[in-house]
Amino acid sequence: MPERAPLRVLILGGSTEASEITGALAGRADVDVRLSLAGRTAAPIDHAVPTRIGGFGGVDGLADYLRAERIGVLVDATHPFAVQISRHAEVAAQTAGVALIKVGRPAWRSQPGDRWTEVEDMAAAVASLGAAARRVFLTIGRLQLAAFAKAPQHFYLVRTIDHVGGDHGLPNAAFIAARGPFDAAAERRLMQEHRIEALITKNSGGSAAAGKLFAARDLGIPVILVRRASTDDRCGVSEAIAMIDAHCAKAPRGV
Ligand code: NAP
């Protein structure tokens, strides 16, 4: 019997789940896996699979890529706050007739002892800090820092993966460049050391970044959480791998 051609899988990445799926598929003979990153971080993790970096040029660009590269399965494993690329993935997969697997993680839910305020967007997060100066731990990424320039009375401890450039507009701030996971004990020490009075974060979900929430609960620190815009139904990593296995099993045989 002729051998099956490897199933070509494109993973839209930039998340823990994308790294886990890529790691699980790398080296398999029945899958030809490729990773796509937006190019937001200066030194992305090397996944030892062919990786393309940068946008596709919108929905049409992504659909063209799927067709040209004969992608069999598209895995949207982007971060829960990366709404645009997920929308594009949905439409492009349909246009190109490619199977789409949407991977994600549940949002965090408050527990007894939490002092959470959930807000719709970054502007609402800034407003919820109020007028009086506070010491704020910001873990919202680099790209939306500008929103906080509107509230320069606060001290901000800003943690991002890449270093923040000089034009951040925050007159009273300290910066940490670090990549998770972060454990709760270290988060607690960090918040105590900087006398943090409020934490602002996105409701990303997952375990790698949850330590700060445990620490805030423990220290009685209020948390302002930006809600997710999308409530898509998404599967977990092992379910996604099982679906890819099922696609491999029915992939056409080569000649
Ligand atoms: P976005 O607003 O949903 O997407 C903006 C544009 O960036 C897309 O239209 C696409 O450009 C390009 N793009 C995004 N993800 C891509 C990918 N994996 N491969 C190729 N192009 C991609 O995305 P975002 O919120 O800026 O996030 C960018 C990336 O960072 C995502 O891959 C996401 O997984 C990761 N990330 C985001 C956050 C967050 O809070 N937003 C947090 C952690 C990691 P074209 O239209 O030109 O194709």
pLDDT digits (tens, 9 = 90+) for 158-194: 999 999 988 889 999 999 999 999 999 999 999 999 9
Tokens 């320069």 belong to 152
Radius of gyration of the chain (CA): 20
pLDDT tens digits along 50-64: 999 999 999 999 999
Farthest-apart Cα atoms in the chain, separation: 74
Is 92 within 8 Å of 59 (Cβ atoms)?
A: yes
The helix (H) or strand (E) run that includes residue 84 is helix 83-96
The pTM of the full predicted model, rounded to 2 decimals, is: 0.94
Ligand 1 binding residues, C-beta < 6 A = 12-15, 36-38, 40, 55-58, 61-62, 78-79, 81-85, 88, 141, 202
Pocket test for ligand 1, best of 66, 78, 103, 145 (most atoms within 8 A of CB): 78
Write out pLDDT tens, residues 197-229. 999 999 999 999 999 999 999 999 999 999 998
Pocket-testing residue among 56, 75, 85, 103, ligand 1, by greatest number of atoms within 8 A of Cβ: 85
For 138, list phi and psi in degrees, rounded to 5. Answer: -110, 115
Q: In whole angstroms, what is the distance from residue 250 CA to residue 239 CA?
A: 17
Helix (H) or strand (E) holding 192: helix 184-193
